[in-house]
Copies of this chain bind each other. A is one copy, B any other.
Amino acid sequence: MTPPPRGFPDIEYRNRLGRAQSLMARADLAAMLLTTEAEIRYFTGFLTRFWESPTRPWFVIIPADGDPVAVIPSIGADLMGQSRSIDIRTWQSPDLKDDGIALLASTLVELLPEGSQIGVPKGPETHLRMPLHSWADLQARASALRFVGDAKILRQLRMFKSPAEVEKIRFACGIADRAFARVPEIARTRVPLERVFRDFQRLCLEEGADWIGYLAGGAGTGGYRDVISPASDRPLQAGDVLMLDTGCVWDGYLCDFDRNFAIGDVQAKTHAAHAHLIEATQSAFEMARPGIRTCDLYQAMKAALSGHAMAGRYGHGLGMQLTEWPSILPDDQTVLAEGMTMTLEPAVSLGAGRMLIHEENIVITKTGAAYLSRPADTPLPRLN
């Protein structure tokens, strides 16, 4: 599988900026202030694992007109300046006395008329990546400006993927597909789950992942207890269901899906539960198309699980983050549209704290949906 080109052509960033600025005009925002990895990368292409370090704050201003303005630590200037048109202003961070707030405030005051509204993402799934003391300091220094919400603009923009974004997610899915196909090489009875996790990440790298942003899973007789725990050193044993759920990263975009495996012979009800999950996923897939709501997908999956459905969401958006807006929930009324990438993720309860979960990745097309992951077969793959 040939990888798509890395990065994006300039036109992609110009389109994102143009759409943002047109939404900002409608919401009467003179600028938006962004502080988190995905928000900043969306407008600048600034891709680095350096966000792992909590030390330095990073700021990008999207003005109502013109190029993004990056107010960033000097250590990032070279990378930020490599491509498109960005006004870059730096300070030497960390600075114990003032870590960029005076520069950020003076930049905002220079760019914006008094009384302007600055949109800051404040809603669900967002956070402000700067110290609260700095946030208070910024508002005091730029007291002639008003920091309001972003009118859901970031959510609205990022929910719809361009064809180039979809290709990156599809490629990440392909990496995980190939790694899942090789699980028989690494998982069998007596292998500790911890080693399976380690080896599975190796397979993802061998199949082309830049890095592995997420791996969780579980194993247990006829089901697993939860799906977010780290691996234990418990060896796999006959009768276990093994589940691996991965987010492989390629060029800054993620897949997010899982696969279940039978270790030796598993109970008939486990096979039946897996078949229900596949059926539920397929029923949502067949329904998914522009105009359908996420709550409709939820109800379709719930109906197919006939009484064993677990509470919780049955999928979500995906892209630059492992999970993105929207959620597939009973009361989420988001209307599907072309270019949305989603997971379908129904779960069943098998009693006694045991569960089974299945996940696929799809993209909404003009007339329906297409799988980005290679959909799993109904029979559980059997490992010895």
A: residues with CB less than 8 A from B are: 6, 47-50, 52-55, 74-76, 78-79, 92, 94, 96-97, 99, 120-133, 149, 194, 197-199, 201-202, 205-206, 208-216, 225-231, 233, 247, 311-313, 316, 321-323, 327, 329, 331-332, 353
Contacts and interface: CB of A to CB of B under 8 A. Distances in A.
B215 A230 contact: no
B123 A133 contact: yes
A32 to B, nearest CB: 14
A54 B131 contact: no
B215 A49 contact: yes
A135 to B, nearest CB: 9
A209 B194 CA distance: 10
A313 B225 CA distance: 45
A47 B332 contact: no
21 contacts: A6-B233, A48-B230, A49-B216, A49-B228, A50-B216, A52-B247, A52-B323, A54-B321, A55-B323, A74-B311, A75-B226, A78-B226, A78-B353, A92-B312, A94-B327, A125-B131, A127-B127, A127-B129, A127-B132, A201-B211, A210-B231
Contacts of A206: 198, 202
Given A122-B133, A216-B48, A201 B205 contact: yes
A321 B133 contact: no
Contacts of A128: 127-128, 132
A205 B203 CA distance: 11
A225 B126 CA distance: 33
A99 B78 contact: no
A75 to B, nearest CB: 6
B198 A210 contact: yes
A209 B366 CA distance: 44
Given A132-B122, A312-B92, A55 B247 contact: no
Contacts of A132: 120-122, 126-128, 149
A124 B52 contact: no
Contacts of A311: 74, 92
A125 to B, nearest CB: 5
Contact of A79 (B122, B209, B215, B228): B228
A211 B210 contact: no
Contact of A99 (B53, B54, B124, B127): B124
A176 B124 CA distance: 38
Contacts of A227: 75
Contacts of A129: 127
Contacts of A312: 75, 92
Contacts of A130: 127
Q: By CB atoms of chain B within 10 A, which of A94, A201, A212, A213 has the most?
A: A94
Contact of A332 (B96, B120, B133, B214): B96
A209 B198 contact: yes
A175 to B, nearest CB: 11
A96 B229 CA distance: 25
A229 B79 contact: yes
A226 B129 CA distance: 23
Given A132-B128, A329-B96, A228 B75 contact: yes
